[in-house]
Chains A and B, each alone.
Chain A
Amino acid sequence: MSSTLKNLTLKVWRQAGPGSKGHFESHTIDEITDEASFLEMLDILNERLISQGNEAVVFDHDCREGICGTCSLMINGQAHGPERGTATCQLHMRKFSSGDTIVIEPWRASAFPIVRDLMVDRSAFDRIVEAGGFITAATGGAPDANLIPIPKPVADAAMDAAQCIGCGACVAACPNGAANLFTAAKISHLNLLPQGQAERFSRVENMVETMDEHFGSCTNHGECEAACPKEISIDMIALMNADYRKAKVKNRKQLARS
């Protein structure tokens, strides 16, 4: 059975553009059903702002099923809000109580410049993937899919890593603004698989070094894992570091013989 929340105060970050000075804007929500999702609450706020002749709050969102990774938001200082393993779009108002004050901010990281209000630019993630987050296999020449057996535990581990939705919560939660969990998840996905071995060491080198151009350094706080809506483990970072070290000491010309 649904119930109604009353007297919510929202403190929403408003910022006109990348170079502008931002500020918090307060709004009250007198009543809302606890069945509403967090983003539906923002929809309602926006409808109201438009009807008052004001500009709607800009925020990124799309699938609202927790899979596309478009939504973001720091909610009361937590990336994606208070529910563990849940993206903002799947957070519902029943996680809040009447009378709450809710502070809503964009991702805060220098590699994710604010575009407007709650929207940030995460294209640095794409640069990391472009540097090596793929397996080179041009369309057309692939061998039969069952030619290389992949042990189930290996396929499962690769899948655990591949679940990353690229939302950027790990970066936002990190005190250093590091993207190690994101980068490590993609590297682990591909480096664990037999198909990924040919480019294993060039991949880790290129991706890590591109990451370092944009993001801060990892100091093992573990905030990323706690914030990840897919609960990706920081073990992935250890795998990445191990491969990076190997890549740096191995003579790749010798690899074919080893």
Chain B
Amino acid sequence: MTTLDAKIPAGPVADKWNNFKANEKLVNPANKRKFKVIVVGTGLAGASAAATLAELGYQVDAFTFHDSPRRAHSIAAQGGINAAKNYRGDGDSVHRLFYDTIKGGDFRSREANVHRLAEVSVDIIDQMVAQGVPFAREYGGMLDNRSFGGAQVSRTFYARGQTGQQLLLGAYQQLARQIGLGGVRLFNRTELVDVVTIDGRCAGIVVRDLMTGEVSSHSAHAVVLATGGYGNVFFLSTNAMACNVTAAWRAHKRGAYFANPCYTQIHPTCIPQSDDFQSKLTLMSESLRNDGRVWVPKNAGDTRAPHLIPEDERDYYLERLYPSFGNLAPRDISSRAAKRAVDAGQGVGDKQNGVYLDFADAIGRLGKNVVAERYGNLFDMYERITGENPYDVPMRIYPASHYTMGGLWVDYELMTTIPGLYAAGEANFSDHGANRLGASALMQGLADGYFVLPYTISNYLAEWLNKPVPDTSHPEFARVESEARERYHRFASIGGTRSPDWFHRELGKIIWDYCGMERSEAGLDKALSEIPALYEEFHKDLRVTGGEDGVNQTLEKAARVEDFFELGMLMCRDALERRESCGGHFRSEYQTEEGEALRDDENFAHVAAWEFTGDPMTPNRHVEDLVYEEVHFQTRSYK
């Protein structure tokens, strides 16, 4: 086990970013065109990084496996984006956003990174408004804000319920301008299948053209992975269907350490699964909990319709357990409470797999019109999906995988443990600790792409000015390419009986049961024996129909599922070794008498960064100690 150096700049936390900028190496404007940077992924982090790097003068090649950069899953974020603008004059500041983020992350994130995030948050709003993002306005024409995720200030900017869409389109348009100008070459429908390292640094990538199946190499001075999170390891999640861990996992297998994979966020208000063929879960905005009351029948197995269950036979468990926060208890706490109710047989709906979110009181108090004004579009969406009208029947909700805080380990400059390979946005682990606050994912993606990477990348590139770097004629590229071709050929020729989706669903069930909302040593041990067995079956019994050339979505899926298997093993290992509960990671052995998460700051105030050893079952664990200079450990309480 080694201790990792995050290269955190000197000085007090509030000065570190300025100190970095004052001392970093720069590349002069005329020399920037001598450098090529590859950006993989065109979501918020990738599109903003690619556009900004091209504006600066670097040659940029951008890759997306979608048909257009505008499709990335950043687009689905509903609620908003945080920024310490203090436009309300309600006491917000960079320090407060910094502190809230550290505390929300249950004291498991890196102070220097989080402070920088809070500092640049204000620039993001300015930049996005300049791009034409139509944020909500007040009648005087100034920007509107809402409060979110239990923060004590209103710092969330929003564009109806489509903030992610509008921000992504803003970044996409900026990228499109650079594509039109020739500053960025775009490779769409092209998927990263491996990372190439030569002499200890990242030399480029190997990709597969999803239209033709052709595998090819691309070299560069630096590579940025902005390829999102791995929430789809659970199979059912709120992530888009194509979200996967492949790019990060391939980098991990080539030497990049993977940090805190067990930190996953489960969102409490999703529509429960309705049938066995369900392909994904849909999030209902958390804002619904402002007026909805969560309850289940007091008696297990009570299958009466909700209106037939009298008040005294209902358990409004959040109000009972957390009187001061009630239905607005934080995501992780509300999620676990719902799971306990369903596990106790008190679940509702045909499958008894949800809890009620009831608006009857709100409609009685405010009238149907006010409720419709606040939540009408969400109620419509709910009805479209479930066929039930939430004005008449309580909504049914259940937690689902939503976001992953873990990811590739990066230092302060967002560089992975492979020199020249960077990770940005949800793909890295850097800012959210063990739990992410609402409206902070969009903030981090844009911070990394707009205001962090463009500064830190020159610090690395400057050293390579006028020095030769390997191009794609280097034999290592040919070797990695042929490995990739063999890998796809192997999937296509196993000739078993089960589809990639079947294996993905089975894997997801194991991970959800043993490494989901609540984990235990016994459960994780079980998962770590079941996953390798299923993985072996995957390699024997997989069936991929269709050819290796041309579009073959079944083949694409097979490769992604293989990577999810190996990630799943690492997730469970990480959860097993982290013998404490913190944020989204809840170990049943480590809880207070009231059933709350019990951290162990003495032994686990560190980042666990895993090294691939060749066998996914026996990775090496390294640590980065988290040193707190500015904040002090506290226990979160929502009683």
Beta-carbon contact of A34 and B387 below 8 Å: yes
Is B134 an interface residue when CB atoms closer than 8 A count as contact?
A: yes
Beta-carbon contact of A122 and B277 below 8 Å: no
Is A235 an interface residue when CB atoms closer than 8 A count as contact?
A: no
Beta-carbon contact of A43 and B275 below 8 Å: no
Is A247 an interface residue when CB atoms closer than 8 A count as contact?
A: no
Is A63 an interface residue when CB atoms closer than 8 A count as contact?
A: yes
What is the bound-complex CA distance between A155 and B136, given in angstroms?
7
- Which of A40, A86, A138, A155 lies in contact with B55, CB distance below 8 A? A138
Beta-carbon contact of B275 and A134 below 8 Å: no
Is A97 an interface residue when CB atoms closer than 8 A count as contact?
A: no
**Stretch of A73-81, A145-153, A172-180, A211-219 with 4 or more beta carbons under 8 angstroms from chain B:** A145-153
Near A by CB (< 8 A), chain B positions 275-318 give 275, 277-280, 282-283
Q: Which residues of B contact A146 (CB under 8 A)?
A: 87, 142-143
- Which of A47, A129, A155 lies in contact with B499, CB distance below 8 A? A47
Is B385 an interface residue when CB atoms closer than 8 A count as contact?
A: yes
**Stretch of A98-106, A190-198, A238-246 with 4 or more beta carbons under 8 angstroms from chain B:** A190-198
What is the bound-complex CA distance between A144 and B128, given in angstroms?
11
Q: How close is A112's CB to chain B, nearest CB, in angstroms?
A: 10
Q: Using a Cβ–Cβ cut-off of 8 Å, how many residues does chain A contribute to the interface with B? A: 81
* Residue ID in chain B nearest A159 by CB atoms: B134
Beta-carbon contact of A116 and B550 below 8 Å: yes
A sample of 6 cross-chain residue pairs with beta-carbon separation below 8 angstroms, ordered by A number, consists of A65-B76, A134-B177, A139-B51, A149-B137, A152-B138, A195-B130
Beta-carbon contact of B138 and A62 below 8 Å: no
Q: Which residues of A contact B550 (CB under 8 A)?
A: 16-17, 116
Beta-carbon contact of B125 and A65 below 8 Å: no
What is the bound-complex CA distance between A201 and B409, given in angstroms?
47
Near A by CB (< 8 A), chain B positions 237-293 give 240-242, 274-275, 277-280, 282-283
User: Total A-B residue pairs with C-beta atoms closer than 8 Å?
Assistant: 226
Is A249 an interface residue when CB atoms closer than 8 A count as contact?
A: no
Q: Which residues of A contact B134 (CB under 8 A)?
A: 155, 158-159, 162, 189, 193
Q: Using a Cβ–Cβ cut-off of 8 Å, how many residues does chain B contribute to the interface with A? A: 85
Contact string, B149-180, partner A, CB cutoff 8 A, digits 1/0?
00000000001101011100100111011011
Beta-carbon contact of A36 and B275 below 8 Å: yes
Near A by CB (< 8 A), chain B positions 175-200 give 176-177, 179-180, 186, 188
What is the bound-complex CA distance between A116 and B178, given in angstroms?
30
Beta-carbon contact of B543 and A37 below 8 Å: no
Extra contacts besides A36-B275, A63-B240, A92-B387 (20): CB < 8 Å: A1-B350, A35-B387, A51-B497, A51-B499, A53-B543, A62-B71, A67-B75, A68-B70, A68-B73, A83-B384, A86-B384, A90-B381, A115-B211, A123-B67, A135-B131, A152-B138, A159-B159, A165-B165, A190-B132, A193-B134
**Interface of A: prevailing SS:** loop
Beta-carbon contact of A149 and B142 below 8 Å: yes
Beta-carbon contact of B279 and A43 below 8 Å: yes
Q: How close is A61's CB to chain B, nearest CB, in angstroms?
A: 6
Beta-carbon contact of A122 and B68 below 8 Å: yes
Q: Which residues of A contact B137 (CB under 8 A)?
A: 149-152, 155-156
Beta-carbon contact of A65 and B282 below 8 Å: yes
Q: How close is B602's CB to chain A, nearest CB, in angstroms?
A: 43
- Given A58-B551, A123-B188; A63-B66 close (CB under 8 Å): no
- Which of A44, A90, A142, A165 lies in contact with B129, CB distance below 8 A? A142
Beta-carbon contact of B274 and A35 below 8 Å: yes
Beta-carbon contact of A126 and B68 below 8 Å: yes
